[in-house]
Amino acid sequence: MSRNAESTAFRSALEVVRGVEPRVADAIAAELADQRESLKLIASENYASPATLLAMGNWFSDKYAEGTVGRRFYAGCQNVDTVEALAAEHARELFGASHAYVQPHSGIDANLVAFWAILADRVESPALRKAQARQVNDLTEADWFALRRELGNQRMLGMSLDAGGHLTHGFRPNISGKMFDQRSYGTDPATGLIDYDRVAVAAREFKPLILVAGYSAYPRKVNFRIMREIADSVGATFMVDMAHFAGLVAGKVFTGDFDPVPHAHIVTTTTHKSLRGPRGGMVLCGPELADQVDRGCPMVLGGPLPHVMAAKAVALAEARRPDFADYAQRIVDNAQALADGLLRRGATLVTGGTDNHLVLIDVSGYGLTGRQAEQALLDSGIVTNRNSVPQDPNGAWYTSGIRIGTPALTTRGLGAAEMDATAELIHTVLSQTTPGTGPDGAPSKAKYVLDPAVAESVGKQAADLLTPFPLYPAVDLG
């Protein structure tokens, strides 16, 4: 697509929107301006290509398409079949999977599809068979009672939230923590690393139906071969949630024991984050679970979003290009450069560094909570998110950590030198921020004090750092 074509496309789209609700058009334009000016370090965010963005704004949005390719509950889905089949084909080829299901609307939806597919495959229940066969109306009250009892007592072993796991791996407020009798494995208190021997002991003691690996805030590789051996030793289904590092798998940065696809029974992911696609989810699996996975709609999901599946097809096609592998490697190189820069300036990092796309700073060394650090950085033009650290004394709301990641800045073209400069800016803000007090004069976990002049200076330096790396340079909204 030519630079002129991209500008014309987005300008025209905003002009049409402005004719109906100008405030929405203004908010869209403002979001682009904000993203261009911010040093975006949120590990779960990225910038999708103009082609991917444009693939979402079209007539596919108007279609209902429950079912799967060639087996829809609505007529007139031949074009939806085309884009869904293309997205699944690209996913299979990209990840070396035998089956891909591209309908999930999010990573949580993808995990729900996986959970139900595993339950349907593993739990002997006539009521479940009826439900999976779409004979829900034939279920008696006795069937429903048996279904709730049988499925509610199944066990899941996943990574704890404060060790870097995700809330969908059994965290109590999430549906996964209500569906399953759940236990968590953590990390070694001294190193912050997964202790596979301890995971094996926990699996032998707990005997889970599902062993879950994957993370949202663990800055190291996971050995999926060992995790599969642990799962096999107790007869568990091995599930990997690779939402955060899917781009590193697609780009062949994670291979062998660190590529989950050859080792897991089932793999879930989002399609944004390091994969750089639209917001959505996906499930990869072998033939033994394919039929159950394809029943995700209507068993778990509402109607598929054909316009998002079209964008997934575009983004996955982009990820199959040779330059994506270079991009994936630069993500890791930049994360390690950022970690090194922080360490040299005295920051404390969980596990002492990173092997992937993210860095987790323990800001208690600066005398701050994660919430204080997050807001002080935001005041200074640096967008991050607070995150728990292992055995976090401040809990999941205030936290003691800041999670930062490099997928978005790598997309913009920043490299090692800019990562070192970014480390300096982060250290400047955190070292100049002090805890505040509440109305009663007591120490506050939320309030903080930062000289506005420091925030302004860092914000200007952040903007200057981004100037040589314009975001969507071909898009000029005028």
Annotation marks residue 252 as catalytic: no
Q: Which amino acid makes up residue 401?
A: G
Instruction: Report residue 313 as tokens.
Output: 């097809």
Quote the CA–CA distance of 364 and 371 in Å, as a whole number.
11
Write the DSSP symbol of residue 350: G
Whether 273 sits among the annotated catalytic residues: the reply is yes
* DSSP-derived secondary structure for 380-394: TTEE-EEE--TT-TT
Helix axes 370-379, 452-466, angle to 10 degrees: 70
With b for 16 or more beta-carbon neighbours within 10 A and e for fewer, the 286-321 pattern comes to: eeebbebbbbbbebbbebbbbbbbbbbbbbbbbbee
3-class DSSP assignment, residue 475: coil
Is 270 in the active site? yes
Candidates 18, 45, 64, 130; catalytic one: 64
Cα 475 to Cα 277: distance, rounded to the nearest angstrom: 18
Apex CA 313: angle with CA 76 and CA 217, to 5°?
A: 130
Catalytic-labelled residue, pool 168, 187, 270, 271: 270
- In sequence order, what are the residues at sequence separation of 6 or more whose Cβ sits closer than 8 angstroms to the Cβ of residue 431? 366
* d(C-alpha 317, C-alpha 305), whole Å: 18
Residue 445 is a catalytic residue: no
DSSP 375: H
Which uninterrupted H or E stretch holds 231?
helix 224-233
228, 276, 279, 330: the catalytic one is 279
Catalytically annotated residue among 66, 89, 291, 420: 66
241: annotated active-site residue: yes
Catalytic-role residue among 72, 228, 273, 276 = 273
Please tell me which residue in 241, 340, 374, 418 is annotated as part of the active site.
Answer: 241
Q: What does the alpha-carbon distance between residue 414 and residue 205 come to, in Å, rounded to a whole number?
A: 47
Contact 312, 89 (CB under 8 A): no
Active site residue 447: no
The rounded distance, in Å, linking the Cα atoms of 318 and 306 is 19
Query: Would you please indicate which residues are annotated as catalytic (active-site) residues?
Result: 64, 66, 241, 270, 273, 279
